[in-house]
């Protein structure tokens, strides 16, 4: 007697919650690894392969879309998750563009559903089609809504004298980890060390960044650097201004066109105010999305530079104060001992 095959039991609600919990814990763990850089695991396949694979599994086993919009979003998420390993460090752009991609997919899916249903909603949806078409043409033939040239700024008041800030700017800094959560969460290139010194016109700096890693078999990490030269310099006892032109950039060239950086400092109540300004050209469209995003990231980078050089100047101020007070203490102890 022939028996019919046993029907496949659909994934139950309990199993979905268990899988979602597991994936959620893995996702949180990977994000923590990225933010803290614990053990350098954020530079390994655990991050670049594990995270996309986990998201893809979550979609495959749990997603049961009942509408056209839901199906489009699920497919988009699956494609983005699976393309992550192919992009390697291109995941920077993928992560930043993901909200835009999901938004456009949802909008197009809703418009198509409304048009397919017909009625008054269909006529209203048709009005958005030419608007959406025009927006997709931004960047074609050099067209743009917002200016491509922009500037990021950041400042910090430092507990040090203006000459100590100038000395810190003239010497190679000690780079630390990013403070801003946005810069730490997204895998931006991080400065490791700088070569070069001086604030006179013609003095150069070469900043080395974390290498570019790919997932190709046998591929070696590619060094990344930025070379700058001083083109304007005005240093005085109460402050100054120094402008660096970017001569070469292999760190951010795929993200933006870096032009110049300017450091200015002046005496402020209780210390010295150090400000940085970074001039760049946006190379991504649409401008209404990537413009504010790049401006925000560049502002954070300028604040990071102000904090980095401010730390060096503060440490020099503390060392100088300690060295000045030690002879006075020794002299006082000598007079006291003689009186005894």
Nearest in space to 276 (alpha carbons), one of 192, 122, 100, 158: 158
Note whether 89 and 221 are within 8 A (CB): no
Res 121: pLDDT: 65
Higher-confidence residue of 109 and 26: namely 109
Res 101: pLDDT: 75
What is each CA distance from 149 to 27, 152, 259, 271, in whole angstroms?
36, 11, 9, 33
pTM: 0.70
Token output for 127: 């009005």
* Positions of E strands within 169-325: 191-195, 204-212, 222-236, 239-249, 256-268, 271-282
Res 62: pLDDT: 58
> Class assignment of domain 149-324?
alpha beta
Res 87: pLDDT: 57
Instruction: Note the pLDDT tens digit of each residue in 76-133.
Output: 676 666 665 555 555 666 777 778 777 777 777 777 777 777 766 676 667 776 776 6
| Rounded-to-integer distance, Cα 227 and Cα 209, Å | 11
User: If you write DSSP's letter for every residue of 18-57 in order, what string do you get?
Assistant: HHHHHHHHHHHHHHHHHHH-GGGGGGSHHHHTHHHHHHHH
Q: pLDDT at residue 321 above 70?
A: no
What is each CA distance from 95 to 65, 139, 237, 294, in whole angstroms?
23, 21, 46, 13
What average pLDDT does the structure give for the chain?
76
Show me where the domains of the chain are located. Answer: 13-142, 149-324
């Amino acid at each position: 007697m022939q028996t019919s095959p046993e029907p496949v039991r659909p994934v139950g609600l309990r199993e979905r919650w268990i899988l979602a919990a597991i994936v959620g814990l893995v996702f949180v763990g990977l994000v923590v690894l990225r933010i803290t850089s614990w053990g350098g695991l954020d530079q390994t396949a655990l991050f670049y392969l594990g995270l996309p694979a986990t998201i893809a599994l979550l979609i495959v086993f749990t997603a049961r879309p009942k509408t056209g919009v839901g199906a489009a979003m699920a497919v988009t998420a699956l494609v983005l998750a699976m393309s992550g390993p192919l992009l390697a460090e291109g995941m920077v752009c993928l992560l930043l563009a993901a909200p835009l991609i999901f938004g456009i997919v949802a909008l197009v899916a809703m418009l198509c559903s409304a048009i397919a249903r017909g009625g008054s909603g269909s006529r209203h949806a048709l009005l958005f089609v030419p608007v959406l078409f025009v927006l997709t043409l931004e960047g074609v033939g050099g067209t743009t809504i917002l200016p491509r040239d922009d500037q990021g700024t950041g400042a910090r008041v430092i507990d040090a004298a203006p000459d100590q800030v100038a000395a810190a700017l003239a010497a190679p800094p000690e780079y630390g980890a990013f403070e801003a959560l946005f810069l730490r969460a997204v895998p931006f290139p991080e400065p490791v060390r700088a070569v070069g010194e001086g604030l006179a016109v013609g003095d150069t700096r070469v900043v080395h960044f974390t290498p570019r890693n790919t997932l190709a078999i046998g591929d070696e990490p590619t060094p990344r650097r930025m070379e700058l030269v001083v083109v304007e310099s005005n240093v005085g006892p109460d402050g100054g201004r120094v402008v660096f032109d970017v001569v070469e950039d292999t760190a951010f060239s795929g993200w933006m066109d870096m032009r110049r950086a300017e450091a200015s400092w002046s005496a402020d109540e209780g210390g010295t105010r150090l400000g940085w300004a970074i001039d760049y050209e946006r190379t991504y469209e649409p401008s209404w999305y990537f413009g504010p995003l790049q401006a925000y990231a560049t502002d954070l980078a300028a604040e990071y530079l102000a904090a980095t050089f401010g730390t060096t100047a503060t440490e020099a101020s503390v060392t100088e104060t300690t060295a000045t007070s030690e002879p006075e203490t020794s002299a006082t102890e000598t007079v006291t001992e003689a009186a005894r």
